[in-house]
Structure 1
Amino acid sequence: MTKHQKRLSVPKSWPVERKTDTFTVKADSGPHGEDGVPLLIILRDVLGYVDSRKEARYALEKGTVLVNGDEGVAEDRPIGMFDILAFTEREEYYRVFPDEGGRLALTGIDAESADSKLGKIEDKTKVTGGQTQLNLHDGQNLLVEDASEYSSGDSIVIANDGDDIVAHFPYEEGSLVTAVRGAHAGEVGEVTDITVTPGSGSNNVEVETDDGTFETVEEYVVVIDENFTGDDE
């Protein structure tokens, strides 16, 4: 299977120039589905820390580049929304956050904030033994004994060490959200109204920002708090 992908066909969220070269690196299977950006692109094209795949492999083998607290990740490991990148030798820490236009960008954070990551609950399922599995936006699954307080659309913050839930942000009117897709991707505001659509259609959400109000479907918004907007350095 080829390790390359045409730049013109990459998802709009990828932070790459589409007309400079024909091909770019292809993401491996894993978190975030087709929206996942290969780690090599972050290291080479966004941060400029390496010039080649070989240099990226060498840096990753040193164990000083962590993704959500994990060492030993491959250079084609998919990176996506709300992942945490830690460069321990440089003492640099980043959260992957959508910018205006929907492209994934890196937001600098402090070392303490890098110990956990945000996940949006897509749905919940019952599993053998009576526990409930929370299914998150990036493909991660989390087992909980009592899921009554969690609903689809809520966000949780998960510790990198042990997968403990350290914070819970309900999806409801008054919640702070960011749009991650659509025309308003990257905008942050407060939910003022949620309109439930009968049948299988998407519910609509109205969001008030500092610059006005916009409407989108609820699949396009993620609940956050002030620490996820880039003001926590």
Structure 2
Amino acid sequence: MTKHQKRLSAPDSWPVERKEETFTVKADAGPHGESGVPLLIVLRDVLGYVDSRKEARYALDGGSVLVNGDANVSEDRPVGMFDILAFTERDEYYRVFPSEGGRLSLTPIDADAAASRLGKVVGKRQVGDGEFQYTLHDGTTLVTDGGYGGNDSLVIDNETKEIVAHFPYEEGALVTAVDGAHAGEIGEIEEIRVTPGSGDNGVAVAQDEDGFETVEEYVVVIDENFTDGGDGE
């Protein structure tokens, strides 16, 4: 199987120039599905910390680059929405955040904020007496007896992997759009419009001046600290 991905056909979320070269690196199978951006692209093309795969591998082998608190990662490991990147030797920390057009960007955060990450609940099923398995947007699964609902957001401690905060999906909640025409915009849910049958539910989001409408799938509940590099708790 080829290790290369044509730039022109790369997912829209990837922060790569489409016409500079024909190919770029291909992500391994893993978190975030096809939208996951290979860590090598972040290190080389976005941050400019390395010039080659060899340099990236050397930096990762040194254990000073962490993804969601984990040091043993491959340069092809996919990173995506709300992942936490920590560069311990540089004392630099970033949250992967959607920007305008749905392209992923890096938001600088402080060390306290880098201790946890946010996940949107996209699946829920009962697995035992009072216990449920929750699937998050990046493929992570958690088993807990917590009463969380679909589209809620959970904050996961990167060291203990435990849930440390919960943001319900409800009217009045602060959200960011992560896809569609309003990707990267932030506002409060004004109304959740339930569509009968198999159609997508709609969401009206209020902002200071206007607002926007999108589908439920495209919004994620956040906390105000996510907009300024705070800890999200």
TM-score by length of 1: 0.97
| 3-state SS in 1 of match to 2:123 | strand
CA distance in 2 between partners of 1:127 and 1:29 (Å): 26
Q: Over aligned residue pairs, what C-alpha RMSD do you find?
A: 1.1
Which residue does 2:122 correspond to in 1? 122
1:222 counterpart SS class: strand
In the aligned structure 2, how far is the partner of 1:165 from the partner of 1:36? 23
- Equivalent positions of 1:15-54 (< 5 A) are 15-54=15-54
User: Which residue is 2:205 aligned to?
Assistant: 207
Q: Is the 8 A contact 1:39 1:78 kept in 2?
A: yes
> How much has 1:128 moved relative to structure 2?
4.5
CA contact (8 A) 1:60 1:72 kept: yes
Which whole-Å CA distance do the structure 1 matches of 2:177 and 2:214 have between them?
8
**How many angstroms does 1:162 deviate by?**
1.4
Does the CA contact (< 8 Å) of 1:187 and 1:209 recur in 2?
A: no
Counterpart for residue 223 of structure 2: 225
Partners of 1:105 and 1:211 in 2: how far apart?
Answer: 25
Indicate the residue corresponding to 1:154 in structure 2.
152
Residue aligned with 2:97, SS: strand
Task: Write the letter of the residue equivalent to 1:194.
Answer: I
SS across alignment from 1:215:
strand
Return the alpha-carbon distance in structure 2 between the equivalents of residues 110 and 231 of structure 1.
6
SS in 2 for 1:127: strand
Letter of the structure 2 residue corresponding to residue 97 of structure 1: F
> Displacement of 1:232 after TM fit?
3.1
CA contact 2:32–2:79 (8 Å) conserved in 1: yes
| Distance in structure 2 (CA, Å) of the matches to 1:125 and 1:161 | 25
Structure 2 length-normalised TM: 0.97
CA distance in 2, matches of 1:208, 1:162: 36
Residue identity opposite 1:29 in structure 2: A
Instruction: After superposition, give the CA deviation of every residue in 1:46-86 in whole Å (9 maximum; x if it has no partner).
Output: 00000000000000000000000001100000000000000
Query: Aligned to 1:126, what secondary structure does the other structure show?
Result: strand
Q: Which residue of 1 aligns with 2:93?
A: 93
Who is 1:186 aligned against?
Answer: 184
Percent identity reads 71
List gaps (5 residues or longer) in structure 1: none
Contact 1:14 1:104 in 2 (8 A): yes
Give distance in 1, aligned partners of 2:108 and 2:209.
24
SS of 1:101's equivalent in the other structure is helix
Between the aligned partners of 1:128 and 1:153, the Cα distance in structure 2 is 22
Aligned length: 231
Residue 133 of structure 2 aligns to which amino acid in structure 1? Q
Structure 1 93/46 Cα, relative in aligned 2: closer, same or farther at 3 Å? Answer: same
SS in 2 for 1:55: helix
- Cα distance between partner residues in 2 of 1:37 and 1:97: 12
CA contact (8 A) 2:101 2:181 kept: yes
What stretches of structure 2 of length at least 5 have no aligned partner? none
Matched ranges for 1:57-72 at <5 A = 57-72=57-72
Letter aligned with residue 205 of structure 1: V
Alignment match of 1:176 (pick from 171, 174, 182):
174
Alignment of 1:99-114 (within 5 A): 99-114=99-114
Give the superposition deviation at 1:209.
1.6
